[in-house]
A and B are shown apart, each in its own frame.
Chain A
Amino acid sequence: MENSNIVIETEQLSKKFDDKWAVSNIDLTVREGQIFGFLGPNGAGKSTFIRMLTSLLKPSKGQYKLFGQKPGIFNKQIYSRVGTLIEEPCFYNYLTGEQNLTHLSYLSGNQSKSRINKIFERIDLNEAKSINVSEYSHGMKKRLALAQALVHEPELLILDEPTSGLDPDGVQKVEELLLELNNKKNITIFLSSHNLQRLQSICDHMALIHFGKLIEKGPVSELLGQTEFLTTEVVVDQPQAALELLLNKKWANKVSIDQDNKIKLHISQGLRPKLVKLLVKNGFKVYSLQARSSLKDHYFSIVNQQSNQTK
């Protein structure tokens, strides 16, 4: 892809607090139209990294570019193309939702009243727009936070935990909205989340950081393919008996059975023939065996690996 398609580019981006590097030498490239998931355990440096991208923190080392431009102290015009939602939504509680959104929209360069009204309708806050934000529930504030990120029609969305604190219905609506924005308007989305399953369902690229360092990055499909430990689903004729048999095997991890009588276990790819052999040898009829990779498995395998190395 050409350089013009790069939306976020960081070079050796680092941040030091006192003597500790919260983020260290992160090189990352996010291209136009991608939904980029940014993963990492608590304290990994995700928020620090996002705060540097949104100019809240000054990098101690390295630099970042948005749409090929390096934002300066006096030149922040590039942020008119960026919408951000950073952690918990904070608003001016003594102002109405409409006053908050209108003025924030003006500051981002959007003066269109109809656009503001449209956004209120889109996030189902039309009837609450004249109420002070102090009266809003957490979910309403979260939706308003998303609205302030979208009101000026940005080309890039930087979202830190955009669905935290929302009910399942709210989470689904936000994800649908993000996918719609990405599909229809080609908006690039860079988001961090702890909800790995949800992240897997919407992201096409991801990066994982741990202890402030970038562990890996790339397309989700590729990274999941590298995962050694995968969830294996087995369908046999006597599931309960097979379950008991497998629970005694040390090489089979996290053995369980689901409502459909599918046995699930974590084993490495190389152990699959051994599993089939064991079941057949013990008289079970193996109807199917399926390997399912998940971002969650991948994430934990990497994080555990990194934690062990650090120890």
Chain B
Amino acid sequence: MKLNKIVGFEILKTFSKFRTYIGFITIAILLPVVFALVNKFGFNIQSRVVSQLSESFTFTGKIVNGYLISYYLMTALWIHFPFFIILVAGDIVSTEMSSGTYRILLSRPISRLQLILGKYITIIFYTVLLISFFGIFSILVGRIILGGGNLLVFDKGILILSEKEALYRFFLAYLLAIWIQLSVASLAFLFSTLSKNSVPAIIGSYAFVIFSIIISVLKIDSLEVIKPYLFTTYFDTFFAVFKEPIPYKSILNKSVRSGIFSFIFFSLSVINFSRKDFKC
């Protein structure tokens, strides 16, 4: 099986580059700092909530714990994941066009489909690793610094989730985040096959994502028509797992749509790469 050799080589190449670690380094520095600051200076949500609800409820223990801050970080940073993903996915195909290394790759007994598939699997692996690292690291560090407990979620009211239930919801949320972010990875991958070097591929992908996000979040009626056709419309699907009850049907629907975008972007990448002439 040649594919495993290709994937092995692609993973070695990808993880031999500094840019691959930028996302991990940022997360590894940012999260402990945020948790430590919350631990030292508090989180004003606690006082707000307690003052609003103290007439109806009696609170024991801390509302602000590792899970709550992890949840806040997840909701705040979901929009930034694409930047790290594009940095790697936008580079993986195009960089070899500028360096000329396809000369030694494509003249081997591997088909272009195998090669592009190997590269795509590597990007999936990277996306899974990055988001999993964020999820596991934020929960672990949050627990260590701020401790565990129930998770309070504010969504048209207050939802209090037990520690066990919170962990299950986090698991589902990150699983969905991986799935959704694969559409970004696939888009950057497509741009990477279209460009002869990584800079236009990365900038082009960023520009496309930012443009799509702006259209997706603008509350303008006339834009509603095109929103279903934008892959960024489904970016926030993973928030839905923190609703009660979990709207599985809606999540599945949005996930399928997001998956279709990933499939289309990947298919276009395959077609483009297979038809390409390598002059350099």
Interface residues of A (CB under 8 A from B): 51, 54-58, 73-80, 82, 84, 86-88, 90-95, 99, 103-104, 106-109, 145, 148, 158
A77 touches B109 (CB 8 A): yes
Known A57-B279, A74-B113; contact A90-B103, beta-carbon cutoff 8 A: yes
B103 touches A87 (CB 8 A): yes
Shortest distance from the beta carbon of A83 to any chain B beta carbon, whole Å: 9
B253 at the binding interface (Cβ < 8 Å): no
A90 touches B99 (CB 8 A): yes
A73 touches B112 (CB 8 A): yes
Task: Give Cα A51 to B6, complex, Å.
Answer: 22
Q: Which residue of chain B has its CB nearest to the CB of A111? A: B5
B106 at the binding interface (Cβ < 8 Å): yes
Shortest distance from the beta carbon of A38 to any chain B beta carbon, whole Å: 16
Task: Give Cα A103 to B115, complex, Å.
Answer: 13
A75 touches B9 (CB 8 A): no
Known A90-B100, A90-B104; contact A78-B109, beta-carbon cutoff 8 A: yes
A-B contact pairs, 17 of them (CB 8 A): A56-B107, A57-B279, A76-B110, A78-B109, A79-B107, A84-B103, A92-B99, A93-B99, A94-B13, A94-B16, A95-B12, A95-B13, A103-B8, A104-B104, A107-B105, A108-B108, A108-B109
Task: Give Cα A203 to B278, complex, Å.
Answer: 28
B278 touches A57 (CB 8 A): yes
Please report which residues of chain B, range 258-276, place their CB below 8 angstroms from some CB of chain A when the two chains form the complex: 274-275
A82 touches B107 (CB 8 A): yes
Task: Give Cα A94 to B16, complex, Å.
Answer: 7
B17 at the binding interface (Cβ < 8 Å): yes
| Cβ-defined partner of B108 (8 Å) among A88, A107, A158 | A107
Provide the residues of chain B in CB contact with A93, threshold 8 Å.
99
B102 at the binding interface (Cβ < 8 Å): yes
A103 touches B9 (CB 8 A): yes
Shortest distance from the beta carbon of A43 to any chain B beta carbon, whole Å: 13
Task: Give Cα A82 to B107, complex, Å.
Answer: 8
Task: Give Cα A106 to B244, complex, Å.
Answer: 52
B2 at the binding interface (Cβ < 8 Å): yes
Q: How large is the interface on B (under 10, 10 to 19, 20 to 34, 35 or more residues)?
A: 20 to 34
Known A92-B101, A94-B17; contact A51-B278, beta-carbon cutoff 8 A: yes
Provide the residues of chain A in CB contact with B99, threshold 8 Å.
90, 92-93
Nearest first, the 5 A-B pairs at minimum CB distance are: A90-B100, A54-B107, A56-B278, A84-B107, A80-B109
| Cβ-defined partner of B100 (8 Å) among A88, A94, A106 | A88
Task: Give Cα A87 to B278, complex, Å.
Answer: 13
Interface SS, A side: loop
Contact with A along B139-179 (1 / 0, CB 8 A): 00000000000000000000000000000000000000000
Q: Which residue of chain A has its CB nearest to the CB of B274? A: A73
Known A51-B279, A58-B275; contact A92-B106, beta-carbon cutoff 8 A: no
B46 at the binding interface (Cβ < 8 Å): no
Shortest distance from the beta carbon of B270 to any chain A beta carbon, whole Å: 11
Q: Which residue of chain A has its CB nearest to the CB of B6? A: A107
Please report which residues of chain B, range 79-108, place their CB below 8 angstroms from some CB of chain A when the two chains form the complex: 99-108
Known A78-B109, A103-B9; contact A86-B103, beta-carbon cutoff 8 A: yes
Provide the residues of chain A in CB contact with B108, threshold 8 Å.
76, 79-80, 104, 107-108
Interface SS, B side: helix
B111 at the binding interface (Cβ < 8 Å): yes
Task: Give Cα A86 to B103, complex, Å.
Answer: 7
B104 touches A148 (CB 8 A): yes
Provide the residues of chain A in CB contact with B6, threshold 8 Å.
107
Task: Give Cα A47 to B100, complex, Å.
Answer: 14
Known A103-B5, A107-B9; contact A75-B111, beta-carbon cutoff 8 A: yes
Q: Which residue of chain B has its CB nearest to the CB of A103? A: B9
Task: Give Cα A285 to B232, complex, Å.
Answer: 93
B104 touches A91 (CB 8 A): yes
Task: Give Cα A86 to B104, complex, Å.
Answer: 8
Provide the residues of chain A in CB contact with B109, threshold 8 Å.
76-80, 107-109
Task: Give Cα A74 to B109, complex, Å.
Answer: 10
Provide the residues of chain A in CB contact with B9, threshold 8 Å.
103, 106-107
B275 touches A90 (CB 8 A): no
Shortest distance from the beta carbon of B186 to any chain A beta carbon, whole Å: 22
Q: Which residue of chain A has its CB nearest to the CB of B276? A: A58
B277 at the binding interface (Cβ < 8 Å): yes
Shortest distance from the beta carbon of A261 to any chain B beta carbon, whole Å: 49
Provide the residues of chain A in CB contact with B2, threshold 8 Å.
107
Provide the residues of chain B in CB contact with A74, threshold 8 Å.
111, 113
Provide the residues of chain A in CB contact with B17, threshold 8 Å.
94
Provide the residues of chain A in CB contact with B101, threshold 8 Å.
90-92
Task: Give Cα A87 to B6, complex, Å.
Answer: 24
Shortest distance from the beta carbon of B21 to any chain A beta carbon, whole Å: 13
Provide the residues of chain B in CB contact with A79, threshold 8 Å.
107-109
Shortest distance from the beta carbon of A37 to any chain B beta carbon, whole Å: 20
Provide the residues of chain B in CB contact with A92, threshold 8 Å.
13, 16, 99, 101
Known: A57-B278, A76-B109, A107-B6. 11 other contacts (CB 8 A): A56-B278, A56-B279, A58-B277, A75-B111, A82-B107, A87-B100, A90-B99, A90-B104, A104-B104, A107-B109, A108-B108
Provide the residues of chain B in CB contact with A107, threshold 8 Å.
2, 5-6, 9, 105, 108-110
Task: Give Cα A91 to B96, complex, Å.
Answer: 10
Task: Give Cα A129 to B279, complex, Å.
Answer: 29
